[in-house]
């Protein structure tokens, strides 16, 4: 199969969908790989690194138009919609619940679009979302500590405090992969951490992992509201696979938070879990809401592209091999997890939460194939 790797054009996006070692594996399996010139520069991979393992270095048009399968990191940007077509398979993060425009473009084109974030194993885990969730969670505490500095607009609170001075109060909403990794870093930096979730098993896991270093609370409305208002930093790490994130922190609650408090929304890819969240970029990551600071970058792992690219490709490469070996239809028939990743095919929305969010008809993927 001919596999295209375009350069990512989303603001601040420095990751690439394949590493040279992954290209080597695909070439060894008999596939042709077309890498857009400069696509790996942000992750410190030179064009010569890809040439050395047999990739063809091409322009953007060839990376899209001359290939049957295009692998990316982020959803197509408006400038890329013209490349979408019905005989193309696109494999990338889509996060369509937060983007009616991209959803419509995919539907109109007839492309088969498989989203990394909705590939789901029988145990409910999300193998292609997990590595980026872990990185985003770790970054959330780091950028939260940075944003709390006075020069960044924050309260001027040292995350871990010092002898005789209390540390920052950190609230993490959601104890999944992203939330747990945010807690890891926050605890390691010495913050006072309170974690919320609706799943008792996740809270028990945190208690076993951290003991009394982390307060674990069920996410009831009144208790969550009190903790948010008292917090120095709130990290939103809520995920509903394929669907828009629920709004759990209201505008009114933010208006009562401390001056210079910080809110980091990891869920912004799925629309955000704070009422006032709106997407930001690495170039301009924060904005004020009342007297608080919001951080809502939609591609947080792009801040550490070398690490993120390697982690992502380790997870996606087996699925890329499956699609390239036999085509997407045979691939999803053989792999139920991959089948759940199909969001759009043949002009139909095959991911029910996306269809529901945008008021579009839902068509099961089995009906599309038949």
Contact indicator for 298, 269 with CB cutoff of 8 Å? yes
Give the pLDDT confidence score for residue 16 in this predicted structure.
98
Give the pLDDT confidence score for residue 370 in this predicted structure.
80
CA distances 31 to 34, 110, 267, Å, are 10, 24, 36
Give the pLDDT confidence score for residue 36 in this predicted structure.
98
Report the distance separating Cα 184 and Cα 306, nearest Å.
21
Least Cα distance to 262 among 146, 162, 160 occurs for: 146
84 φ/ψ angles, rounded to the nearest 5 degrees: -70, 140
Report the distance separating Cα 245 and Cα 97, nearest Å.
9
Q: Which two tokens stand for residue 74?
A: 């982020």
CB atoms within 10 A of CB 201: 8
In this structure, the dihedral spanned by the alpha carbons of residues 355, 356, 361 and 365, taken in order and rounded to 10 degrees, is: 50
b/e per residue 222-261 (b: at least 16 CB within 10 A): eebbebbbebbbbbbbbbebbbbbebbbeeebbeebbebb
Contact indicator for 198, 219 with CB cutoff of 8 Å? yes
CA distances 220 to 174, 200, 226, 239, 279, Å, are 12, 12, 10, 17, 27
Give the pLDDT confidence score for residue 243 in this predicted structure.
85
Contact indicator for 93, 118 with CB cutoff of 8 Å? no
118 φ/ψ angles, rounded to the nearest 5 degrees: -110, 5
Q: What share of the chain is helix, strand, coil (3-state, %, to 5)?
A: 45, 20, 40
Least Cα distance to 67 among 22, 46, 36 occurs for: 36
Q: What is the pLDDT of residues 37-82, one digit of tens each?
A: 999 999 999 999 999 999 999 999 999 999 999 999 999 999 999 9
**Known catalytic residues?**
95, 269
Contact indicator for 46, 23 with CB cutoff of 8 Å? no
> Average pLDDT by consecutive 10-residue portion of the chain (370 residues)?
98 96 98 98 98 98 98 98 98 95 98 97 95 97 98 96 96 96 97 97 95 95 97 95 91 98 96 96 96 97 96 98 96 96 98 96 94
Give the pLDDT confidence score for residue 339 in this predicted structure.
97
Q: Which two tokens stand for residue 294?
A: 């919001």
Q: What is the pLDDT of residues 287-307, one digit of tens each?
A: 999 999 999 999 999 999 999
């Amino acid at each position: 199969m001919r596999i295209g790797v375009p350069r990512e054009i989303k603001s601040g996006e420095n990751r690439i969908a394949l590493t040279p070692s992954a290209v080597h594996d695909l070439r060894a399996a008999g596939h042709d790989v077309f890498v857009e010139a400069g696509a790996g520069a942000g992750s410190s991979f030179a064009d010569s690194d890809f040439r050395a393992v047999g990739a063809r270095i091409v322009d953007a048009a060839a990376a899209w138009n001359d290939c049957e399968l295009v692998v990316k990191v982020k959803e197509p940007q408006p400038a890329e919609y013209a490349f979408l077509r019905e005989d193309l398979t696109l494999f990338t993060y889509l996060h369509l619940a937060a983007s009616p425009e991209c959803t419509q473009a995919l539907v109109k084109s007839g492309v088969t679009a498989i989203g990394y974030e909705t590939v789901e194993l029988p145990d409910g885990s999300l193998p292609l979302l997990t590595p980026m969730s872990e990185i985003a969670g770790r970054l959330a505490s780091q950028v939260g500590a940075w944003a709390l500095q006075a020069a960044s607009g924050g309260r001027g609170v040292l995350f871990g405090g010092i002898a005789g001075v209390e540390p920052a109060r950190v609230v993490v909403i959601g104890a999944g992969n992203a939330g747990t990794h945010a807690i890891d870093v926050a605890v390691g930096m010495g913050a006072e951490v309170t974690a919320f979730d609706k799943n008792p098993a996740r809270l028990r896991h945190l208690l076993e992992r951290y003991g009394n270093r982390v307060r674990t609370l069920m996410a009831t409305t009144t208790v969550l509201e009190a903790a948010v208002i008292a917090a120095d930093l709130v990290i939103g790490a809520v995920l509903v696979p394929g669907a828009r994130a629920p709004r759990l922190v209201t505008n009114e609650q933010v208006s009562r938070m401390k001056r210079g408090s910080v809110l980091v929304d990891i869920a912004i890819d799925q629309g955000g879990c704070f009422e006032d969240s709106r997407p930001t970029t690495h170039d301009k990551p924060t904005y004020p809401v009342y007297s608080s600071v919001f951080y809502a970058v939609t591609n947080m792992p792009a801040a550490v592209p070398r690490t993120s690219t390697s982690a992502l490709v380790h997870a996606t490469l087996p699925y890329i091999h499956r699609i390239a070996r036999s085509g997407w239809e045979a691939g999803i028939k053989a792999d139920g997890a991959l089948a759940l990743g199909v969001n759009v095919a043949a002009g139909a929305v095959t991911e029910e939460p996306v269809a529901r969010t945008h008021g579009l008809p839902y068509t099961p993927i089995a009906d599309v194939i038949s």
